[in-house]
Structure 1
Amino acid sequence: MIDVSAPICCAPLAAGPMSTENAVELALRLKALADPTRIRMMSLLMTDPTREMTASDLACAVGVSGGTATHHLNQLRGAGLVTSQRRGVNNFYRAEPVNLEALRGVLNTCC
């Protein structure tokens, strides 16, 4: 099993052939983003790097049920794109800027 929550660590796509392992890790992260609801959630969380929202807040903002929001957030957290912190009965989610920047760097075609 591949730990896709670990930091992204590979050269940009244009740097040359990518190893199979790095390609799988990248594909799993991109797969986590390949959903309009998840992209909208990421957009909300990335508006302010210090912003934290509960699954309920995100569910209301994007128009899905709480259970559906939690499912999407688990996918994003599993890919290392968001982190969560439990406070009381709620989990507060925020974007993981280091991993998002690393993902951007891998997709960048220029150094």
Structure 2
Amino acid sequence: FNLDPLGTHADEQIWRALEVAQLKPVISAMSASLDTEVSEGGNNLSSGQRQLFCVARAILRRSSLLILDEATSALDSQTEKAVSTALETAFSHATVITIAVSIWNIFLFM
């Protein structure tokens, strides 16, 4: 699975990152589950799922700097709120720079 290409994280850590990023049900439903490879360009995921995948990777890596450019733009409002809450929780220790059209997203990390 491309989420942890170097294989440095336990499956439990990967599942937790996927859960926080709201992708756990999607990956669980795939026939190869955690062994599923994301195709070149992410063509086997929707645009929203690709965004969530990047969020999951940042969560897994415990990034100390996160730059978000319209990170939730392809998500429905319910998923956007869930992911925004997850980002706020998962990156409370990090420096977050966000570029957003929605004023709500700009105030998220203040």
TM-score, with structure 1 as normaliser: 0.27
Structure with the greater alpha carbon radius of gyration: 1
TM-score, with structure 2 as normaliser: 0.27
The higher relative CO (CA closer than 8 Å, separation ≥ 6) is in 1
